Structure formats: structure tokens, C-alpha cells
Amino acid sequence: MSPLIDKILSTDKLSVEEFLKRGKGIYTFLNPVSYLDALKHKELFTSFDGIFADGGLLVKAIKMTYGASVKRQSFDMTSLAPIVFSYAAKTGKSVAIVATKQEMVEKAVANLEKSFKGLNICYYRNGYFNGEQEMDDEAKKIVSLHPDILIVGMGIIKQEQFLLKVRDAGYQGIGFTCGGFIHQTAQDKAEYYPDWVDKHGLRFVYRMYREPHTRKRYAKAAFVFPVRFMWEKLTGK
């Protein structure tokens, strides 16, 4: 079995609440688009404590190919995000955020603090770095601040690399990648995807509509992902 799928299946056995109560570990998400990138960086992704299946197409592909049922879970307001932030607010856990542009992360923090009363966002900054040394220094800084929960949204590969740096620097809390969640949360409201989009499994279509820069990447994945997924199953590559 693919090590990526094996990691997804093992992660799906526990609830998010159980991971939060453990209070330690780093977790990321894969959808059909990012899965293609993960195939080129298997060692990076399997170094995580858990991988969530983010995307209806990936969930269906796992069911059809491996005969296993997993839940679609993503870091947004229709899935994990409200669970994580509500837990932090209720238990007094501190949250650090590294993501998107500075002006966007500032707006997102303000929106999150309005939505979750008592939420302690102890540190936040943009997700842009001038080279590896700055990333290493920032990883050490975050470790020194001891946030209970760390949210990182820097785009596929970069966010995973940074979260691993933080763990390797000695981080003892729980960390999640979040893709474009912080950027989306900064845009007026936290509920980026309307209910009807979720109901009909049209997230990727809606995001292409809202964010034109994703269209080429998503359209390519719609054709390439099914073929590449089956090829991995047959060849292990």
C-alpha cells in the first residue's frame, strides 16, 4: 500500500478532538491537487504524524481503489478549524499562526478573535521568508514562545517543510498546515465555502471561480490525478 494512503487511513481512525487532547504532533492535508505534489515528496509527507484526506475526489478514489472509507476533513470552517479554535478558546490553549501576507494574517486574526471569544492568539506573522536561515530562526523563535497550537499556511511543500523545521527545533505542541484558510478568513467572513458548494462537492470549482490563479492547476489535476493515483497503486511509484 502507498505510504501516503497508509498514513491517511491511520489518521482517520481517531477524531480531531483526540488529537487535540494528545496535544502533540504535526498534521497536514492532501487533496487531489496536493497529492500529485506529495508523490514527489513522499518522505516529507510521511514524516508527519498524520495526514487528513481533504477532497471528495480523493475520498472516492481511496474507496474505489483500496476499499477503505475515510472522512473528508480540511482545515476550514466547515471542518476542522472551528473544532480547533473552539477547543483552544475553551481550554485556554495558546495559538500561533504563520501564513499568507502580513495584512491578510492581521485581518484573519481579528476575524478569528471575533468569532471565538477568549481565543488567545499569542503570535502571528506572514508566511514569507528570505531564505532557509530566516526560516530556521523563526522555527526556533516559535519553539521559545511555546504555543500550544501552531497553524501554518504557506502553500504546499513550503508549509510542510516549515512545520517540520519547527518540530525538529523542539516544538512540543500540536501543529496543522492550513493551505489558504488564513487568506480566505481575512476576506470578510470565515465561511469561505457556501453550504450548497459543500453539499454538491464543488469546492474545487468554487475556488477556481473565487481565485483565478488556481484554475490551471486544478484543471490539470482533474485529469492527471485519477491516472496517477491508479499508477501508484499498481506500481508503488
Average pLDDT, the chain: 91
**Could you tell me the CA-to-CA distances from 229 to 30, 31, 48, 58, 203 in Å, in that order?**
13, 12, 21, 9, 20
Question: What is residue 177's predicted lDDT score, i.e. its pLDDT?
Answer: 98
The helix or strand, by DSSP H or E, that contains position 98, with its residue range, turns out to be strand 94-99
Binned at pLDDT 50, 70 and 90, residue 215 comes out as low
Rounded-to-integer distance, Cα 108 and Cα 187, Å: 8
Question: What is residue 84's predicted lDDT score, i.e. its pLDDT?
Answer: 98
Question: What is residue 81's predicted lDDT score, i.e. its pLDDT?
Answer: 97
Please check the confidence at residue 190 and state whether its pLDDT lies above 60: no
The answer to whether 27 and 71 are in contact (CB under 8 A) is: no
The model's pLDDT over 89-101, given as tens digits with 9 standing for 90+, comes to 999 999 999 999 9
More confident residue, 204 or 62: 62
Question: What is residue 214's predicted lDDT score, i.e. its pLDDT?
Answer: 64
Please compute the mean of the pLDDT values over residues 151-169 and round it to a whole number: 97
123 pairs with which residues across the strands? Answer: 96
Please compute the mean of the pLDDT values over residues 92-119 and round it to a whole number: 97
Chain-centre distance of CA 143, in angstroms?
20
Question: What is residue 219's predicted lDDT score, i.e. its pLDDT?
Answer: 67
Binned at pLDDT 50, 70 and 90, residue 201 comes out as low
Please compute the mean of the pLDDT values over residues 30-37 and round it to a whole number: 94
Longest dimension (CA), the chain: 50
Question: What is residue 236's predicted lDDT score, i.e. its pLDDT?
Answer: 83
Question: What is residue 204's predicted lDDT score, i.e. its pLDDT?
Answer: 63
Please compute the mean of the pLDDT values over residues 63-81 and round it to a whole number: 94
Question: What is residue 224's predicted lDDT score, i.e. its pLDDT?
Answer: 86
Question: What is residue 55's predicted lDDT score, i.e. its pLDDT?
Answer: 83
